Structure 1
Amino acid sequence: MSEISGHTKLIALLGSPVEHSLSPAIHNLSFAKEGVDAVYLVADVTPDTLENAIIGARALGLAGLNVTMPCKTHVLQYLDGLSPAAELMGAVNTVVREGDKLIGHNTDGAGALRAAKEAGITVSGKKVTVLGAGGAGSAVFTQAALDGATEISVFNVRDEFYDSTEVRLAELTERTGATLTLYDLADEARLQSEVAESVLVVDATRVGMPPFENESNIKPEWMKPGQAFMDTVYHPRETKLLKLAKEAGATAIGGLGMLLWQAALGEKLWLDVDMDVAYIEEKVFSEAE
């Protein structure tokens, strides 16, 4: 911070609440390591104040933005364009300045699949199962479709959004060529059969985080070597799902990888910076669970 000058670029996270976000620690450490003259701050912004925040970002010349809940869908109306992934997801978590325009991207799904790739798992031409059709789950199954997965099975509780999710999956099937199918998360027999055929299974539900840290949607007898199981939860670092996957000889991929790689993709978009993900993980998340 002592090196801030008239040339320092500013990037901000918009959302609410944001005071406990890990993003400032991640990005400011990365900027310092790579010698980038930029700082990353947070601003508590709600959907009611979001329009003014975007107007302010334009006027002040911010180099970029992150957007988190509850603003990821509301921000679309205030931007000048969307990446293909953001347009299909209907949500933005990264905003990039291109000249005098602000373009919305979504790096959540790409971050998850990059974490999978780092673990040796690719989805092109293969089957994927995703549990949860909310923000994280939607980002993952949309990106998997864009990345060439042939079949994607999505499981969700039968809530008030179930029917609209089914319609959205049909639209994604038509637009991407992948076959996306929605199932009831309560249908255990179907879940078992879809998991058995999948190279990657992603749990994007709240199961695994407190107070559900001792629970797993996937039973150990369904797991086998050659498969990968990812949890979008990163607190605790090792969820029940990941522990069971390791015991079964399968590949276990924690939510921290998704968090770090979506951040790394953001830095590449904003400033063409290649984040040293391993270094950031060691420095920011070295404390034991």
Structure 2
Amino acid sequence: MDKKKEDQRMKELKDRYIRFDWAIKRLLRQKANFGVLEGFLTVFLGEKITIVELLESESNQQSEDDKFNRVDIKALNDKGEIIIVEIQNTRELYYLERILYGVAKAITEHISLGDSYYKVKKIYSISVLYFDIGRGEDFLYHGQNHFIGVHTKDQLVINTKEKNAIVSRLPSEIFPEYILIRVNEFDKVAVTPLEEWMNYLKDGTIRPDTTAPGLDEAREKLKYYSMTPEDRHAYDEHLNAVMIQNDVLDSAKLEGRMEGRMEGKAEANLENAKKMKAMGIDLEMIRQITGITL
């Protein structure tokens, strides 16, 4: 290999960045690195976000069974609202039901028995998806509850009493917002901060001249070679686990198409379930992926 190619290879290694799912599980839980996560939230929520603290719950505890398939983080912003960020690496059945449950759980976790409903916090649920959740031409989807007049088409405004005053509030100020980021559907040249973040989520690339909120800090704090050798080894194992599981799932899809019948699909699912079990993948996760009963 000539010196020019070797220099290029070394530069690529030096500028290699850690995947966002790993960063959320490890580095971005540190207060010193909140700037990266705040930039991400600012871009995808369309408003300046400041994180006050990270919140603990059963759903965001690290576990061996969940070491590569799903990671999440829950934060409180300076408005007292709760933001859930979840990354799903592989296909999961009933995903919409899962995020609905997660939002409901977050609401109930942070209101005490007997508290006024006024203390219910608005929730933002952001899902970074690396699997095909369904049909749709966009890479970014947003959903929320709206009350629209069936005949008049106007939005209902709710009057509530707060501190002895009548305050008008839109349901959008109360009800959760859901954002689905379909990483694999992004295929644009990155121009806007949103597109630059999509590039990083998909390919792990960050422009050297980026001004996108959070990405300039990510360039400094999420470099592969800034980790200890032990952390780099654990990170490499994480990537291997993701690739192996995706290979298994791709095989399952291929075998299912080739069989062309329900019986063939069931057999393919069973065979792949055996493979996943042999790899030590959690049984509940296998059930969700293949649809096979425990």
TM-score normalised by structure 2 residue count: 0.29
Higher Rg: 2
Higher helix share: 2
TM-score normalised by structure 1 residue count: 0.30
Highest RCO, 1 vs 2 (Cα 8 Å, sep ≥ 6)? 2
Higher strand share: 1
